[in-house]
Amino acid sequence: MQTPKGLKKGDKVTILSTARKIQKEELDTAIGIIKSWGLEPLLGETIGAESNQYAGSDAIRTDDFQKALNDPNIKAIFCARGGYGTVRMLDALDFSIFQSSPKWIIGYSDVTVLHAHIHQNFGVESLHANMPITYPSSGDNESTKSIWKALSSSHLNYTWDSHSLNKTGSAEAMLVGGNLSVLYSILGSNSEIDTRGKILFLEDLDEYVYHIDRMMINLRRSGKLEKLKGLIIGGMSDMNDNTIPFGKSAEEIILEHCKDYNYPVAFNFPAGHIDDNRALIIGRCSKLNVENNSCSLVQ
């Protein structure tokens, strides 16, 4: 795996949108925070662009992202927000310059498709982390601090409380994953991730619990769970149920589908569609330790 160069003060970075539309004024807080890190944030052409729900047409979003990929003066690409649309531009992108001169790509949720595609096809680390639209108006919090720590030093170290559903154990392997629904949607494509011998991270938002079951069965049947080294579950937020209850929480469903495998499982990691959304380096060899009283992850 290639690690993009760490950022330093004075570096130029781009904020753009690969998915839903966003206005410049929605980024004022993030621009201030990024400037406080000593970086020079530039706005892509997709900021302020509109095409129905998207930040401009597929062609505009593709061109904006391609220019940022190819520009040697841009040291990182911050995806402004999620929603839906990143996958629509993916097959038109040319990563050849990026592969020879990689840079950090930052985002989560819908941006999971970029993390998966880049990891699987080009062997470059990327950053699963909060996007500028969600940066706190009160200033830096632990989520944004973890972004700068990853970008400047490219090392992360976390501890968090244990969960009653955890399976204890230790693992050392490459970390992959992201949003469960997005990973499910790209199965069978050239963006599908190989999970064998890796630590898988999953999070999701606003899904029916029966659909969590459907997606986890798919991961199990397609062999994505069997040969893992470890599993980390972040926020499973704002889940929905039918009038006739499914009978299990999202976390209980996930455990059901991997309980017979011999690897550690850690729930409640602070990442996903939650206020405390810590950065994770996708593609980084990581050490996971799940004990009875606490969990830790070192990247």
CA pair distance 176, 156, nearest whole angstrom: 15
**Could you tell me which of 208, 146, 173 has the C-alpha nearest to residue 283?**
173
Q: pLDDT value at position 11?
A: 98
Cα–Cα distance list, 240 to 4, 163, 244 (Å)? 39, 21, 12
Find out whether 174 and 199 touch, Cβ atoms under 8 Å.
Answer: yes
| Six token digits for residue 23 | 């206005």
CA 122 from centroid of its chain's CA atoms: 17
Cα–Cα distance list, 88 to 79, 125, 143 (Å)? 15, 22, 28
The residues annotated as belonging to the active site are 109, 203, 273
CA 81 from centroid of its chain's CA atoms: 12
Q: For tokens 């619990």, what's the residue?
A: 209
Enumerate residues 6+ apart whose C-beta is below 8 A from 25: none
Q: pLDDT value at position 137?
A: 82
Per-position DSSP letters for 103-161, written without gaps between them: -EEEE-GGGHHHHHHHHHHH-B-EEE---GGGS-TTS--HHHHHHHHHHHH---EEEEE
DSSP run (H or E) holding 290: strand 285-290
Q: pLDDT value at position 85?
A: 98
CA pair distance 265, 257, nearest whole angstrom: 11
Q: Which amino acid is at 45?
A: E
CA pair distance 56, 107, nearest whole angstrom: 19
Q: pLDDT value at position 232?
A: 98
Q: pLDDT value at position 190?
A: 97
All domains of the chain, ordered by start, with CATH? 12-153 (3.40.50.10740), 157-298 (3.50.30.60)
Given its phi and psi angles, is residue 163 left (phi above 0), alpha (psi -120 to 50 degrees) or beta? beta
Q: pLDDT value at position 96?
A: 97
pLDDT, block means (10 residues), the chain with 299 residues? 96 98 97 96 98 98 98 98 97 97 98 98 98 87 94 93 97 98 97 98 98 98 97 97 96 96 98 96 98 97
Q: pLDDT value at position 243?
A: 96
Q: pLDDT value at position 70?
A: 98
